[in-house]
Structure 1
């Protein structure tokens, strides 16, 4: 019975340690993802700093410079948040390690007490001579063998107890080393967080300075805003005309295909022929899309949050209605997102599709519209376009080069439409 109790105790100890190791492995997985996020965000900060350095070299402050600073502040705040997450994860890891360490200490203390008791009992009852007397005082050979086995089991039990204690001491030392390492890591993270917080303070000061300077240019900003609104309205009108033109063409194709199919069916019936299966031209849904276009739209929908970015860079102006960063009480509306990048960066299609339109518009340079079934992606502010209407493109194909304005800003305007509904492009692009 005592043997089985020891076996069960050993099993429970192993199970406890296994849970601890599983928890450590889970913590490691979380840490790997956290480290990836920290590195990706740090790379983004470096990219923003590179762009900001170029825009800051301009004599006068401008709205684009303020947008870059805002993006930098957002990224910096995210970095501090990631460091806070790191500290919380370390606290949890240290808590788990502490519990495991205390459990190991308790197990070792228990083994020590049992071992001490065993040694004490042995010293009271027998020495080497007593062992021999105990053996040779047996009345029969079988009794001699049984006594020999008893002494051997007793010796083996002591050795096993000593081995368990040594193994626990090794585990405790390793656990203590892990705890020390985590605490050292915690100190480094705390120092990094303090450093990043100081950088954020500098950025906030820089932003306040730029906002103050821009506030002095209110009249110019209002003129600039009115001009950009007019240009955006022209772009939106042009895109809606493209969508309407495509809709009319689809309906015309659908009507012609249906009429042709009806004529052919009537002719077959007049000749007494059996009906034929539908042709590709007849396979049109109510919106006039072919099977191929329907499949493309469906696969585009399934790619939400997984589309590649059209250009290397970072978002400086988000989708939809938002407060003007300088002019109080003024709301601005963005048809898509503005992605700042480096001069001369290639612009790529985010998905397979058909080029619907390539045009040049005031304030937007070259504008490329690509159809993906009943979806459309728009790439504006290009210096040049390398595709033509009617051309089929694949995801990540180069379609042009981003333009750089007179203030040194290289920026792409990216939009996503479904029929006549504007969608938030950031919810379609892969997270960075």
Structure 2
């Protein structure tokens, strides 16, 4: 009997732990979704602010398409996250409603038992009847057991009263929580309707813009090819400089110059290790901005038959935006190519960051820079108001996806 009782207690304890774990897990998930929703809302605010700032400018059609694509993507993500929150709240509301029903049934049963106990206690309240109950015992052992029984009965009565109070308070808490959850869900639904309206409006503008571009698709296709050729030209020059720097480092270390990686000094190894350990936590190269073109090969948003090869990311920012070093390092080169804007290259051990399309450069080759130090200013195209920073991240000669390294990119 004792063993069975212990097993039952263990099972009850396990169920309580499981229930608590599920509630904790749901709470964590809800917080994660809310954090993500706020991030997306802030991202939309950044896009709107930058679009408003350049409203007076005649933005290039290509830049507008990139902005529309990104904004539509963020709006879709916001709707998806908000729907997940609403669905999770629905599950929590249903669980709470079931819990309330169960608690009410338990309270009803407890109160009935307690009422019966009080009636019975009242009937035996007479002090004389209690004394007689004890005195009528056949022996001292029986009297002691009866005394223990009376004490246990009184304790049980008190415990029942406390349990009723505790369950009543729990019921009240769940009811309050339930009302808040229903209110939160209604707010999310209302907000999602507004976001849906904004999304439809952005899609309409996007479709109108695409329609106008398709009337003169050859001209825009030519612009895309030209921009790609210019980007490729600069990227080839950067890769040539990195290859030469790798050969030079290996020559100094007495190694084969044909090596594909930097020969690092002890100090450079520490710097590279620190850089790598900050993956996903590195700051943005500009204080305000959003990515209009991501890393990798992708179809053109205007002509799907054309591909965009992006060794890094393109970040739209505000006029006069300062460019910041994303980590401690040394300015290895300032690259100036004819008909192109300057590029600053910073070396962090065997990692290199390249900041393209600058109008001003605040540093010189050989300068030691620190995290978030201003190194220049992003160029603003006077004809259309575009302020775009091209940012590339290398490990030796290999390009890396900046969105995996920069915090919440």
TM-score of the pair, normalised by structure 1: 0.81
CA contact (8 A) 2:246 2:260 kept: no
SS in 1 for 2:342: strand
Q: 2:405 matched to 1:428?
A: yes
The alpha-carbon deviation at position 424 of structure 1 amounts to 1.8
Q: 2:380 matched to 1:390?
A: no
Indicate the residue corresponding to 1:215 in structure 2: 214
CA contact (8 A) 1:56 1:65 kept: no
What value does the CA root-mean-square deviation take over the aligned residues?
3.5
Indicate the residue corresponding to 1:376 in structure 2: 352
Q: 2:165 matched to 1:166?
A: yes
Indicate the residue corresponding to 1:131 in structure 2: 129
The correspondence for 1:415, drawn from 363, 378, 392, is 392
Indicate the residue corresponding to 1:305 in structure 2: 280
Greater alpha carbon shift after TM alignment, 290-299 vs 371-380: 290-299
The alpha-carbon deviation at position 361 of structure 1 amounts to 3.1
Q: Deviations over 1:33-90 (max 9, x none)?
A: 3322222211110010112224443346511111111111111111112111211321
1:55 and 1:313 map into 2 onto residues whose CA distance is: 13
1:233–1:22 distance in 2 versus 1, CA, 3 Å: closer
Task: Spell out the pairing of 1:267-416 with structure 2 (5 A cutoff).
Answer: 287-311=262-286, 312-361=288-337, 364-406=340-382, 407-416=384-393
SS in 2 for 1:308: coil
1:122 and 1:65 map into 2 onto residues whose CA distance is: 82
* Structure 1 segments unaligned to the other structure (5+ residues): 259-283
Q: Deviations over 1:339-378 (max 9, x none)?
A: 0111111111112222121133356411101122222110
Task: Spell out the pairing of 1:109-188 with structure 2 (5 A cutoff).
Answer: 109-119=108-118, 126=124, 128=126, 131=129, 134-135=132-133, 138=136, 150-151=149-150, 153-188=152-187
SS in 2 for 1:408: coil
Greater alpha carbon shift after TM alignment, 144-153 vs 417-426: 144-153
SS in 2 for 1:310: coil
The alpha-carbon deviation at position 248 of structure 1 amounts to 3.0
The total of aligned residue pairs comes to 403
Q: Deviations over 1:179-207 (max 9, x none)?
A: 22211211111111122112111111111
CA contact (8 A) 1:364 1:382 kept: no
1:113–1:364 distance in 2 versus 1, CA, 3 Å: farther
Larger RCO: Structure 1 or Structure 2 (Cα < 8 Å, ≥ 6 residues apart)?
2
SS in 1 for 2:244: helix
CA contact (8 A) 2:324 2:372 kept: yes
Choose 1 or 2 for highest CA Rg.
1
